[in-house]
């Protein structure tokens, strides 16, 4: 992949890249070039503030990893000298690189999840937590249905490990992170309910277990917990 493509890929996360391409597809060539030239002439401090304001869309917020505002401006100058066709080509190639990178980390994290599952079967919960945590770290910058499903699975497995280790507060934390991915995750609600019960948070525990039972009425484990 050409160096310029790597620099473009560093500037945007997948959501920003998609939004930029969609915006560019609706622009006339002269509008696209004018936009790049305006960005190229932007004061570094203004660029820094702009990127910080966009921080919610970027892992860690602010400037892309490995870039400061001056480097960002230099890259924008390089982009400003490109023709609209070259700019579109660079964006397309950078997006492909990001897609390939996402697939690489997805595969790596799936392997780590499988390794963690083996540790759980062998009751090696600390080892399982380590590889699950690494799997989560790998996919932090990425998104998509496949990524979110993997993220949910890793968090649920981490909650199972801490539940087995009787680390109730950590279990609640993992379950709440899982519920941010899927608010109706039966396993997250049930495991959080079990942990809350052990923490003495009885009302919240009952609420969690009842809701998990409502979402999965045929689950005998949940039904047994309600009877208890």
The CA radius of gyration of the chain, in Å to the nearest whole number, is: 23
- Closest of 166, 94, 101, 173 to residue 139, by C-alpha: 101
- Note whether 5 and 94 are within 8 A (CB): yes
User: What percent of the chain is predicted at pLDDT more than 90?
Assistant: 46
State what percent of residues in the chain have pLDDT above 70: 57
Asked whether the beta carbons of 208 and 196 are under 8 A apart, the reply is yes
Q: CA 135, 141, 146, 148 torsion: positive or negative?
A: positive
76 vs 206, residue with greater confidence: 206
pLDDT score recorded for residue 1: 41
Indicate if the pLDDT at residue 15 is higher than 60: no
Residues 6+ apart with CB under 8 A from 133: 158
pTM of the model: 0.66
99-227 in CATH: which number?
1.25.40.10
- Per-residue pLDDT, 102: 84
Which burial class, exposed, middle or buried, applies to 179 when counting CB atoms under 10 A from its CB (0-12, 13-18, 19+)?
A: middle
Instruction: Give me the residue spans of the domains in the chain.
Output: 3-96, 99-227
């Amino acid at each position: 992949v050409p160096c310029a493509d790597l620099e473009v890929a560093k500037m945007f996360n997948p959501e920003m890249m998609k939004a930029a391409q969609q915006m560019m597809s609706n622009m006339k060539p002269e509008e696209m070039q004018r936009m790049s030239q305006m960005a190229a002439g932007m004061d570094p401090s203004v660029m820094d503030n702009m990127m910080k304001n966009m921080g919610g869309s970027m892992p860690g917020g602010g400037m892309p990893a490995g870039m400061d505002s001056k480097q960002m401006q230099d890259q924008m100058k390089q982009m400003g000298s490109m023709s609209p066709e070259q700019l579109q080509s660079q964006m397309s190639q950078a997006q492909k690189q990001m897609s390939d990178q996402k697939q690489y980390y997805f595969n790596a994290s799936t392997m780590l999840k499988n390794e963690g599952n083996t540790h759980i079967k062998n009751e090696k919960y600390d080892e399982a937590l380590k590889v699950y945590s690494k799997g989560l770290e790998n996919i932090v910058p990425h998104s998509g249905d496949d990524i979110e499903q993997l993220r949910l699975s890793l968090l649920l497995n981490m909650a199972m490990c801490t539940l087995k280790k009787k680390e109730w507060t950590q279990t609640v934390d993992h379950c709440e992170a899982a519920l941010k991915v899927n608010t109706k995750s039966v396993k997250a609600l049930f495991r959080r309910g079990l942990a809350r019960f052990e923490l003495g948070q009885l009302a919240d525990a009952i609420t969690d277990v009842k809701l998990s039972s409502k979402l999965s009425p045929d689950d005998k484990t949940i039904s047994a917990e309600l009877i208890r």
